[in-house]
Amino acid sequence: MCGIVGYIGQREAYPVIIKGLERLEYRGYDSAGVALYDGKNINLSKTKGKVSDLKKKSSETVSVKGNIGIGHTRWATHGVPNDVNSHPHYSNSGDLVIIHNGIIENYESIKKELINRGYVFHSDTDTEVLINLIEEVQKKEKVKLGKAVQLALNEVVGAYAIAVFDIKKPNEIVVAKLGSPLAIGMGEDEFFIASDASPFIEFTNNAIYLEDEEMAIIRLGKEVKLRKIKNDAVAYPNILELQMNLEEIEKGGYDHFMMKEIYEQPRAILDTYRGRLLADKGLIKMAGIDQHLDKFLNANRIVIVACGTSWHAGLVAEYIFEDLARIPVEVEYASEFRYRNPVITDKDVVIAISQSGETADTLAAIKLAKENGAFVFGVCNVVGSSIARETHAGAYTHAGPEIGVASTKAFTTQITVLTLIALKLAQEKGSLSKERLNEFLTELEYIPTKVEIALQSNEAIEKIAEVYKDSTNCLYLGRGYNFPVALEGALKLKEISYIHAEGYPAAEMKHGPIALIDEHMPVIVIATNKGHYEKVVSNIQEIKSRKGKIIAVVTEGDEQVKALADYVVEIPDTLEALTPLLTTIPLQLLSYHIALMRGCNVDQPRNLAKSVTVE
């Protein structure tokens, strides 16, 4: 996700936009740019790096005068972070400029068509395609900017929050929204545009939040005119009087980034499969895989290297790849792999998983694998990160910046990408019937909604947290696909609440850990109705008979476990291989609430860093 800011009014636009971008840097900080209209020209400056880099560059290179302007801080999705790919983007004529937060899925086909019509492109972004589509529509239909934007947006598929300026109509800015947030600050004879209210809350607390498929023409001295993009019908603004303060706005109204990111998971999972999962066509489109399919199909095995939560996502991938694509998989801690002189050949494919793309151990493991001839594929959340650049190919999770040190949306979006890869390979290998494959593709599209449903247990989980917040130890148990989720749940609890927690395969209890069970030991058991359900029920009975306290994550409607456990949290039913995307949600919420009740710093836990760039 990116941050967009715009201004039109009596003030100097530049300081408003720059300060607004600084407040939106939590949304992305790969690059930044600003375009200002000084009454005669559009003066545009943009640069790789942070807003502070933009401030330095713009004040030295362009006039920063003018009462109208737009600005952008980028979280790269298409095109690595560099000056050229930064926003704003000009149209070919130089008359139009745009800033954009979102993903245009069909930009490649539109780009081809525009190139055939003589357009040239300087960046790798989908946004530059969009501004030239608007220009082409404006020329062809001989319409003003507002109509051109509306017509052009009816040709695109994807998500956007855009602001567009046309030097031919210099007293207005046109904005539009689908899937990405856009707020209009309503000042005294001035208007503000932003991804959230933080850039303008100090000037006005009156705001319009555009609804999906709405656009607005913002003209000085005029009422804001809202339109429906689909049919140009008039839309009526709902002007809100905001009560939030600045910090609350940056956290989306949540108390912590971690909670905001837990609740972003439905959108993050959707953004991650957007444009890749074509369920209606029974297809999965992933350039990084499609271009190297032979490597995967002819590999002796797949070796996954990662750390922490990413390693847990790798364990889930092991179950999925072997179960569905019948490809042997080994999962290695990158920190062990890099030092143990592993046997790696050019018949191996190595998948490196990393949210930050900067984890030193994972980077070292990649280099070792490459030295031994392996093909290395990256799954990262940061475009242009060291790991993204070091691997031979890759696929990005589109989770947006993850600010909380405890990984949450990174985990579920990593699993989403890895599931798509496994299904793609299963389809190519014919290891899954067409019917079974389509069942997966269809169910994946329901996952964001099912995550929303799982999140509705938040209040019930908060009550459970109250009961167990003073525990000194905790056990997490899961079987099959949910064994890695048990490990992940234990990591979440220990890293933010400092309670010692361990994850085990449920069946492993009888080989020692059951000695730990007594009335002081809370045991979180993942007992969904898939896989080895009856075996897990037996494990629960073993724990209960030793007075263990049981918190069970069950499939909605489960009565059997409900009769045995002290507490149950229900999640919607789904396919067994997709249960990790849902069972992890209650465990994230439980660790969050317990940590909060223990007075811990949820977003910056002691001793930890968001990215471990040292060994």
Q: Which parts of this chain interact with ligand AGP (CB under 6 A)? A: 307-310, 354-356, 359, 362, 405-407, 495, 611-612
Beta-bridge partners for 165: 97
State how far the alpha carbon of 463 is from the alpha carbons of 10, 484, 500, 592, in Å: 51, 25, 20, 12
Contacting residues for 291 by C-beta, under 8 A, at least 6 apart: 393
Cα 469 from chain centre = 29
CB of 305 to ligand AGP, least distance (A): 10
The CB density around residue 205, as the number of other CB atoms within 10 Å, is 15
Nearer to ligand AGP by Cβ, of 295 and 494: the residue is 494
Nearer to ligand AGP by Cβ, of 433 and 613: the residue is 613
Cα 355 from chain centre = 10
Token pair for 236: 């009526």
Nearer to ligand AGP by Cβ, of 354 and 391: the residue is 354
Q: What is the C-alpha separation between 22 and 16, in angstroms, rounded?
A: 10
Nearer to ligand AGP by Cβ, of 14 and 476: the residue is 476
Give 221: exposed, middle or buried? Use CB within 10 Å, 0-12, 13-18, 19+: exposed
Nearer to ligand AGP by Cβ, of 26 and 90: the residue is 26
Token pair for 195: 């991804």
Nearer to ligand AGP by Cβ, of 85 and 356: the residue is 356
The CB density around residue 209, as the number of other CB atoms within 10 Å, is 17
Q: Which one of 2, 307, 380, 600 is the catalytic residue?
A: 2
Does residue 140 have an active-site annotation? no
CB of 350 to ligand AGP, least distance (A): 15
Beta-bridge partners for 396: 380
Q: Using the 8-state DSSP alphabet, how is residue 322 labeled?
A: I
CB of 455 to ligand AGP, least distance (A): 19
Torsion angle, alpha carbons of 371, 376, 381, 382, to 10: 40
CB of 462 to ligand AGP, least distance (A): 21
Whether residue 478 contacts residue 490, with contact meaning beta carbons closer than 8 Å, is answered with: no
Whether residue 98 contacts residue 127, with contact meaning beta carbons closer than 8 Å, is answered with: yes
CB of 594 to ligand AGP, least distance (A): 15
Instruction: Give the CB-nearest residue to ligand AGP.
Output: 308
Q: Which one of 285, 429, 469, 610 is the catalytic residue?
A: 610
CB of 322 to ligand AGP, least distance (A): 22
Contacting residues for 287 by C-beta, under 8 A, at least 6 apart: none
Cα 132 from chain centre = 27
Nearer to ligand AGP by Cβ, of 138 and 359: the residue is 359
Nearer to ligand AGP by Cβ, of 493 and 568: the residue is 493
Q: What is the C-alpha separation between 29 and 22, in angstroms, rounded?
A: 9
Q: Report, in angstroms and rounded to the nearest whole number, the Rg of the chain calculated over CA atoms.
A: 25
CB of 609 to ligand AGP, least distance (A): 8
Does residue 463 have an active-site annotation? no
Report the 3 state secondary structure along 366-411: HHHHHHCCCEEEEEECCCCCHHHHHCCEEEECCCCCCCCCCCCHHH
Count Cβ neighbours within 10 Å for each residue of 73-91 and write b for 16 or more, e otherwise.
bbbbbbbbbbebbbbbbbb
CB of 258 to ligand AGP, least distance (A): 9
Q: What is the C-alpha separation between 591 and 462, in angstroms, rounded?
A: 10
CB of 361 to ligand AGP, least distance (A): 8
Cα atoms found within 13 Å of the Cα of residue 121, Cβ hemisphere only: 23
Whether residue 378 contacts residue 354, with contact meaning beta carbons closer than 8 Å, is answered with: yes
Nearer to ligand AGP by Cβ, of 215 and 350: the residue is 350
Amino acid letter for position 523: V
Query: How many H helices and E strands in the chain?
Result: 20, 27
Nearer to ligand AGP by Cβ, of 33 and 81: the residue is 81
State how far the alpha carbon of 3 is from the alpha carbons of 50, 77, 100, 202, 281, in Å: 12, 13, 8, 18, 33
Please identify every residue annotated as catalytic.
2, 610
